[in-house]
């Protein structure tokens, strides 16, 4: 589905639903940087912990094309565009969104702070964010889970994330 309407009035970029197995959305910034936001099916992550089928998706924010090859400058419309995409995908109250902070360049804590800031500055009241810092060699894998309080597995997810966090202590 293609979003329509004047850019200025919405204070975000137009985005397109590409679809596919990874539930891809895409948008292009005024600097011609192309982002893809993917919601990759990840129910396998919970198969040993929660009985029943979980509609879990890992949210991946990726730069698909940076024509300059340089550092991408801050863009005030990127955040609201990603949030609009998040809420478009999150229409189902049974979805669970998992965000794993990329640690390949050592900037996972900065990504975690940014994602947490986005969530708490723009969240709906029915959504809950849970975090876990999982030991991974000399670093931690930082992951966040977001779900609706109305999710049928809500209490099981709260317990699971609590247990993941406690495993590091």
Residue 2 lies in a domain: no
Residue 25 lies in a domain: yes
Phi/psi zone of residue 65: left (φ > 0), alpha (ψ -120 to 50 degrees), beta?
beta
Give percent above pLDDT 70 in the chain.
89
Mean pLDDT of 86-106: 82
Which of helix, strand or coil describes residue 111?
A: helix
7: pLDDT strictly greater than 70? no
What CATH number has the domain bearing residue 109? 3.40.630
CA angle 140, 141, 142 (to 5 degrees): 105
pLDDT at position 168: 53
User: Domain containing 88: what range?
Assistant: 7-166
Q: Which of 123, 136, 132, 150 is nearest to 46 (CA)?
A: 132
β-strand partners of 34: 28, 65
Give percent above pLDDT 90 in the chain.
30
- Residue-wise pLDDT for 11-31, tens only, equals 999 999 999 999 999 999 999
Count of domains forming the chain: 1
- Residue-wise pLDDT for 121-135, tens only, equals 776 778 888 888 887
Residue 56 lies in a domain: yes
Q: What is the pTM of this model?
A: 0.79
Helical H segments across 36-107, by residue range = 78-89
Mean pLDDT of 51-60: 84
Residue 1 lies in a domain: no
Residue 148 lies in a domain: yes
Residue 59 lies in a domain: yes
């Amino acid at each position: 589905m293609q979003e329509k309407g004047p850019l200025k009035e919405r204070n975000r970029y137009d985005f397109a639903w590409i679809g596919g197995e990874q539930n891809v959305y895409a948008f292009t910034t005024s600097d011609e940087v192309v982002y893809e936001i993917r919601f990759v099916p990840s129910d396998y992550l919970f198969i040993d912990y929660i009985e029943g089928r979980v509609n879990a998706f890992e949210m991946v924010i990726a730069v698909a094309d940076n024509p300059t090859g340089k550092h991408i400058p801050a863009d005030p419309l990127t955040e609201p565009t990603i949030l609009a995409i998040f809420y478009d995908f999150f229409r189902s109250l049974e979805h669970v969104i998992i965000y794993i902070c990329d640690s390949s360049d050592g900037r996972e804590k900065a990504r975690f702070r940014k994602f947490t800031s986005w969530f708490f500055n723009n969240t709906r009241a029915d959504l809950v964010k849970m975090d876990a810092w999982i030991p991974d060699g000399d670093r931690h894998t930082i992951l966040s889970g977001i779900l609706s309080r109305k999710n049928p597995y809500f209490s099981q997810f709260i317990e699971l994330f609590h247990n993941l966090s406690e495993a590091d202590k």
